[in-house]
Copies of this chain bind each other. A is one copy, B any other.
């Protein structure tokens, strides 16, 4: 048996049975092994940003890692931006990077580069396989590393000779996965005492603390203690909608955020990080909290958020059946066919009206996305997946991967046009795999956020040359043609009525569909 077969077997034994891939020559033995391992579902992306972004979206929904298969340093480089997002999301990824055969490396062939240096910034773990005899052990380590801290990027470098070399070490090695626990009693006592001390407290939540069950417990804690609850600004996944405990997010705008948090005396972190400015702006603070605010960490990402919150609630004497305020079903659902201007807000309302229960919403709508969150607190229960690392080009691949993970659930991508162009090749994978993804392109013809950022950094209003860097006009993009080029049916709408009709239709049918909303 060769190393590639052992790698496949080890992945399957470690419950990694989906591989998003864009292979090259050095990965051909892994590709050949796929013919012998039908249990491994291999999904081709026509660009590596699709591959890694899909692995991110997949794992956010499957709660287990996918593998990737990338071609040497440049292939890895193309996938790094979405690995950056995965890293910030705390997503488990077994990131497999092919490499020249070990003996070939000293020749510095054209595709040779320093893969470790490229991988490290976006990886919690980087390992290189030295020989085909090591494949099983190293692969098991990579799988285990991907499950550390609730989810990490583990990069496994696979030289071609390790893949093609024969080995007797074929028995699949089970990864040594650390089980998630809860904080020590002393931490629970400390946090409980804080929540009882009468000061203005913010529970800042991220990670699996944003699943519906954990949010219900957090909601009871907040109600019983008078604490405020907020989600981190960007999160891997929030379970929200009617019948669930609603939660707002930390604001993006610095001034608004600082004002919003000005009265907070103490912060309790539940798998979250202290709020900081997404960017720096001249004369504005980097930290969003008042200087007097005391920070207490309750759970790390690697903790079991639900069990931890439940232990805290028990310590506080909060009854498990205490009532908690849930989001009421939106009255928008009762509206007739809407009319008015096609805006991010009116689109959000229309999406909320038609969103089926269990939908997965992947948001990379940037300036157009804020409206969705506001207008859909009472929409049918759904998952909300966001751009976590700010590396644009996340939305379309994330939706692709989420749909692979959850074939019975509708995926809705809210996608800005500027950022959508970074990984538009995702649409082809959606067509190839018949994925049930409906993409809404918010076509505002540019990087709208940057016009505002230009003002925020004090650089004024864009003149002719600067505007040419911010506006995607002359020519405008035609997403209906782009989608058709990759086998995805699409429609362009210019009115709210048309959007509502087309989106409702798209919710009733299955398979990939794209709506270009001209706003």
Contacts and interface: CB of A to CB of B under 8 A. Distances in A.
A371 interface: no
A466 interface: yes
A454 B107 contact: no
Q: Point out which of A26, A84, A450 has the most chain B C-beta atoms below 10 A from its C-beta.
A: A84
B459 A280 contact: no
A273 B112 CA distance: 14
A464 B476 CA distance: 40
Q: Point out which of A74, A81, A474 has the most chain B C-beta atoms below 10 A from its C-beta.
A: A74
Contacts of A80: 73-74, 77-78, 80, 118
A330 to B, nearest CB: 30
B454 A32 contact: yes
Contacts of A276: 104, 107-109
Interface residues on A, range: 35 or more
Interface string A423-454: 01100100110000000000000010110011
A424 B164 CA distance: 33
How many copies of this chain sit in the oligomeric assembly? 2
A447 B22 CA distance: 10
A233 B107 CA distance: 15
Contact of A477 (B234, B392, B485): B485
Interface string A25-46: 1101101101101101010101
Contacts of A49: 78
A5 to B, nearest CB: 11
Contact of A113 (B77, B122, B287, B462): B122
Contact of A482 (B392, B432, B476, B482): B482
A468 interface: yes
A424 B481 CA distance: 14
A47 B113 contact: no
A47 B421 contact: yes
Interface string A284-321: 00110000000000000000000000000000000000
Contacts of A115: 121
A340 interface: no
A81 B29 CA distance: 23
A69 to B, nearest CB: 8
Given A28-B450, A484-B478, A279 B100 contact: yes
5 contacts: A32-B462, A77-B118, A110-B278, A118-B118, A477-B487
Lowest 3 A-B CB distances belong to which pairs?
A: A475-B487, A74-B391, A35-B463
Given A77-B118, A88-B110, A104-B280, 10 more contacts: A25-B449, A42-B468, A44-B469, A47-B393, A74-B80, A107-B276, A117-B120, A118-B118, A160-B280, A475-B486
